[in-house]
Amino acid sequence: MDLERLDPFTWRVPVGTVEGMRVPGIVYGSEAIVRAAVDDRAFLQVAAVATLPGIVRASYAMPDVHWGYGFAIGGVAAFDPDEGVVSPGGVGFDIACGVRLLRSDLAWSKDVAARVGELARSLGREIPRGTGTGGRLPVAGRDLDRVLREGVRYPLARGIGLEGDEERCEDRGVAPDALPEAVSERARSRGARQLGSLGSGNHFLEVQVVDRVLDARAAAAFGLAEDQVCVMIHSGSRGLGHQVCTDHVAAMDRLAPSLGIRVPDRQLACAPLGHEAAERYLGAMHAAANFARANRHVLADGARRAFEEVFRRSAQALGLTLVYDVSHNLAKLEEHEVDGRRRRVCVHRKGATRAFGPGHPDLPEPYRAIGQPVLVPGSMGTASWVLVALPTAADRSFGSTCHGAGRAMSRTQAKRRQRGADLARDLEARGIALAPANLGLLSEEAPYAYKDVDEVVRACEGAGLSRPVARLRPVAVVKG
């Protein structure tokens, strides 16, 4: 299939690529990125999303796009609240998976380089990780209900975290429309023990160093400077969110005949916005999002405790403050300009980060004049990026941008290429201290399994979605 190139970083998937398309698909990326999306057929998923009822403007794909469940990972789509639908496949199984970044007053060369191994070991002791692992703050019963309803406010009420953490989270750390009663007992049982745990797969906690600043004004607003030590946490809603997605995909699939909605792929199971099934899913999804945000908050507390142990000073004295916390798997009702007027639409972001430009009222005051921080995690041995949202993202992607590098090969292919123990030696030879939970799984997330994150970032800037502020290289990695 030949995509239509509209400009150097914008490609159109024509209506008719998949039968029943209501709008075109739009894929953002360089020629190499888009060629990869064609090779793994992710562009067909972009086209399939364009068949869903009530879709507005286009079905979008960010530059880290690759094949996913239902929606392509990197997919963005907005739906009219009166005629449109919500689809769990447009959010994914790891609901509100996202990234939290802490900055510090520590300099790599002066304060941390000589002690990074000790720091990695301390982080390894503080951060529970791996499949099925219990967390730092297990909860049950009413406490779990509070987490599902209150998000980061629950651990803050327990004295966990620092003043100001809540203000620098997307939605101030809590989704107000959560319905804990829509979360099944199976989902609750899977999540109860896991609050404050990293999980496995591509989730990580990294100690990073700012090795390049490209936008001095935005970097200063975010509290970032060259040679500064930071901590990036990439994790989500663990087994609870996975089960919420599983439950509601099955429920909507069973309802499909009675709803009269036909989709080209059962993974796109959906329900009309306003329908009881849609409302229950949205409420359960927001509850899982609150769990994910509280999870990263508790993990950040573990990171602060490790720094305190190694450097013998409080987290406050070390300047370990939150830059931002943002999710990249959510569906949310937002106001956007469509056809010249402001409208509420339900924006699905699946492996895509919210990117609100300067002046947006949902941004915390310190960032409102600059634009929203966008946190783009790398793939273990590669750099991560802090970007800032561009004002043009509102029109080009409903205020969205990439969420990472995006996979270039499957986990099975990655494991065949190199053993985990060999990869660990390679990374340590490059000066990256490791605290892995399972060496056998390490190579599943090897740097070569992902696209070039620098190219993805360049494509986001070229497409008018976000621009680079600072590049961060890893010096210690804690993995599940």
What letter does residue 2 receive in the DSSP assignment?
A: P
Q: Which of 188, 141, 185, 138 is nearest to 158 (CA)?
A: 138
Q: Residue 323's closest CA among 402, 249, 245, 376?
A: 376
Angle at 352 between CA 186 and CA 375, to 5 degrees: 105
332/327 Cα distance (integer angstroms): 11
DSSP letters for 138-202: ---HHHHHHHHHHTTHHHHHTT-S-TTTGGGBGGGG--TT--GGGS-HHHHHHHTTTTT---STT
Calculate the dihedral angle through the C-alpha atoms of 376, 377, 382, 383, rounding to the nearest 10 degrees.
50
| Known catalytic membership, residue 403 | yes
- Say how far apart CA 91 and CA 236 lie, in whole Å: 12
Q: Which residues contact 249 (CB under 8 A, 6 or more apart)?
A: 88, 89, 267, 269
Q: Is 100 exposed, middle or buried (0-12, 13-18, 19+ CB in 10 A)?
A: buried
Q: Distance between terminal CA atoms of the chain?
A: 39
Choose the catalytic residue: 248, 297, 348, 403: 403
In this structure, how many other beta carbons lie within 10 angstroms of the beta carbon of residue 56?
21
Within 10 Å of residue 54's Cβ, how many Cβ atoms? Answer: 20
Which residues are catalytic, by number?
A: 403
